[in-house]
Structure 1
């Protein structure tokens, strides 16, 4: 597996960035979180004039062996069907990416099906992997498969970066992946499963109870997980594993890393355990309505830009937050200072 080297941004420019923000034609702090966002982006890019270039959103798709056990309201074949919906432009993330001129890439990270090579899909499967194993019986994937998945996610982002992109968001599609995220969260955040398991795609009370019982069984089976990679390979999906590599690579390259909701944040939890310096490059786009996401964000000490009660996945929160990120960059570059506007400062 690739070793990631993520630098801490040089803070020597921090005072100059803050001075530029403070001397815009506004009271100190009047733009609230936009000011913090502008500072973070300027620090990442080491400039007083930040820019957003060729924004991308990458949706990783993969199937989960445990989805056959009834942990989701929807059958496993919906993963394949939704990938086709992405390709045809009919999903929510398609709508939002079109609206905000974000390039959408759809990745087959481990879907239980074969897609025509002519389709606009990035075919990124490890050979002969059509979804993970059932973690109620065995680890979801081998350590080697986990390492290869991380490497494939990283290699994909390298290509996108080389085409001029400097801001990237991540989404996912995989029936059963809220369960994987809950198991990862419970282990990394050291919280009981009952505080990590939610309704996912809309389970009723009885189905939620069954889901919790099944996940407790999985947790009991995989007790000795002493590294983030072992946690990932015990419970994760190939889409989550590739997302881990993608996030780490994006941060290593100095890109702005947009984090979506519950499942994307579970991938970030693993990435952060592998290389904590990723935190300097991450922007958390929204607080999901999925039970447990707030606790994840609290564990990370993160504040999300939006709270719209979303629980869709697909990277939808990233796309919706993007115009706010644009506003932060635009005020930094285009808003007059007191001096340039001839306005008296207090």
Structure 2
């Protein structure tokens, strides 16, 4: 099998006109800071002077990880199943923030250990298996499973795009998935593993040391020069691979891609490694409090919108950051220009 996405970066021919519109608003040039950059990026993605945010969605992909059985998390594996039930019952942080900001939430079972009897419009059963293999013993998944994840993630986004949605955020749930993300970071950047491993769900120093020891032991079993797809099959989670497919499809559809924290950025790194142009459609919502996320953002050469110390996952960073995108679009569309307002522009030296 082979990847079949067609992704091109937004045309920059439109940039001077768009930048001129931003600069001619009744404000000193650059005085709206990052909002001006967001407005420029969104306008370039949509190739318009009057961008819009239509039917925002966040998709949470949930799956379990075999490595959790080796003691890398302070929470038991069944929490993944319990939290997905919480999402479906509307009781999680992501439900609260999506409701607050009128974002439609979609929850998927990408490979949770356990089943669900929920028959809800916002729930998708995409289960690959009841969790990945323990990569301490063998690769997390085989190539066929990984391709199926990418294909299913792509299909989810295609169906959402049919609704007219032009902005989508990605979140996740999966006990043990910071271990997968840490090893993806390690292999895609060459950073030492100790620089990639953090507390995850809240491990203390002793717990982090144990986690690092386990991940070093696992890492020694595999080659150091693996290609990105091999890294994904070896260490990835079903939810991460689904996000890779979803992000690539969203970029192909020329949608705005909102990226959450450490795990979602691992998927973004993988998407970028496979299709570098996909990064042009991504907006990174926040810098996670999880150790290692700053390295991911530095590797991608991107600046997150928020620094709140959040490390919950679930797509919560996307939901919190979304109003900033609304503000960027609104100032571009609704703020008067110097000419329209009869306000004098800065003197030309």
- For residues 95-114 of structure 1, the aligned pairs below 5 Å read 95-114=96-115
Q: CA deviation at 1:117?
A: 5.0
How many residues get paired? Answer: 344
User: Aligned residue for 1:45?
Assistant: 46
Residue 59 of structure 1: SS of its match in structure 2? strand
Worse-superposed segment, 112-121 or 132-141: 112-121
2-structure distance, mates of 1:53, 1:18:
22
2-structure distance, mates of 1:124, 1:118:
14
User: Aligned residue for 1:121?
Assistant: 123
User: Aligned residue for 1:36?
Assistant: 37
Residue 29 of structure 1: SS of its match in structure 2? coil
Q: Which runs of 4+ in 1 moved over 4 A?
A: none
User: Aligned residue for 1:161?
Assistant: 161
1-structure distance, mates of 2:9, 2:50:
19
8 Å CA contact 1:60–1:242 kept in 2: the answer is yes
- For residues 173-184 of structure 1, the aligned pairs below 5 Å read 173-184=173-184
- Residues 79 and 105 (structure 1), Cα distance of their counterparts in 2 relative to 1, 3 Å cut: same
User: Aligned residue for 1:139?
Assistant: 139
2-structure distance, mates of 1:234, 1:190:
16
User: Aligned residue for 1:186?
Assistant: 186
User: Aligned residue for 2:247?
Assistant: 247
User: Aligned residue for 2:4?
Assistant: 3
Residue 109 of structure 1: SS of its match in structure 2? strand
8 Å CA contact 2:288–2:311 kept in 1: the answer is yes
2-structure distance, mates of 1:112, 1:205:
28
2-structure distance, mates of 1:81, 1:244:
24
- Residues 153 and 294 (structure 1), Cα distance of their counterparts in 2 relative to 1, 3 Å cut: same
Worse-superposed segment, 223-232 or 9-18: 223-232
User: Aligned residue for 1:13?
Assistant: 14
Residue 164 of structure 1: SS of its match in structure 2? coil
Q: CA deviation at 1:218?
A: 1.1
2-structure distance, mates of 1:168, 1:189:
27
User: Aligned residue for 2:309?
Assistant: 309
RMSD: 0.9
2-structure distance, mates of 1:117, 1:27:
53
Q: CA deviation at 1:193?
A: 0.6
User: Aligned residue for 2:25?
Assistant: 24
2-structure distance, mates of 1:12, 1:291:
39
Worse-superposed segment, 220-229 or 193-202: 220-229
TM-score where L is the length of structure 1: 0.98
8 Å CA contact 2:187–2:224 kept in 1: the answer is no
Q: CA deviation at 1:2?
A: 3.9
- Give per-residue Cα distances to partners, 1:236-273, cap 9 Å, x unaligned: 11000000000000000000000110000001111101
User: Aligned residue for 2:336?
Assistant: 336
Residue 165 of structure 1: SS of its match in structure 2? coil
Structure 2: unaligned runs, 5 residues or longer: none
2-structure distance, mates of 1:141, 1:65:
10
Q: CA deviation at 1:226?
A: 2.3
8 Å CA contact 2:146–2:241 kept in 1: the answer is yes
8 Å CA contact 2:172–2:264 kept in 1: the answer is yes
- Give per-residue Cα distances to partners, 1:76-102, cap 9 Å, x unaligned: 000000000000101000000000000
User: Aligned residue for 1:270?
Assistant: 270
Q: CA deviation at 1:189?
A: 1.0
Residue 221 of structure 1: SS of its match in structure 2? coil
TM-score where L is the length of structure 2: 0.97
Residue 91 of structure 2: SS of its match in structure 1? coil
- Give per-residue Cα distances to partners, 1:92-123, cap 9 Å, x unaligned: 00000000000000000000111115244111
- For residues 219-258 of structure 1, the aligned pairs below 5 Å read 219-258=219-258
8 Å CA contact 1:225–1:231 kept in 2: the answer is no
